[in-house]
Amino acid sequence: MHDWQSWTALAIVVLTIVAFIFRAKRRAKKEARGCGDCGSGKFS
């Protein structure tokens, strides 16, 4: 863990975890947003 590549990779991993937490919170507030794969089923 002494080179810049290791630290940058670790920072990306931490940022990804933070992004997942934000995503989960945001999605919990909204109703069913349809299929993540094909976008089907987005409805009012």
Residues that bind other proteins (CB under 8 A): 1, 3-6, 8-10, 12-13, 16-17, 19-20, 31-41, 43-44
**CB of 29 vs other proteins, minimal distance in Å:** 13
- Dihedral (Cα; 7, 13, 17, 22), 10-degree rounding: 80
Residue 37 DSSP one-character state: T
CB closer to other proteins out of 17 and 29:
17
Q: Which of 19, 44, 24 is nearest to 34 (CA)?
A: 44
**CB of 11 vs other proteins, minimal distance in Å:** 10
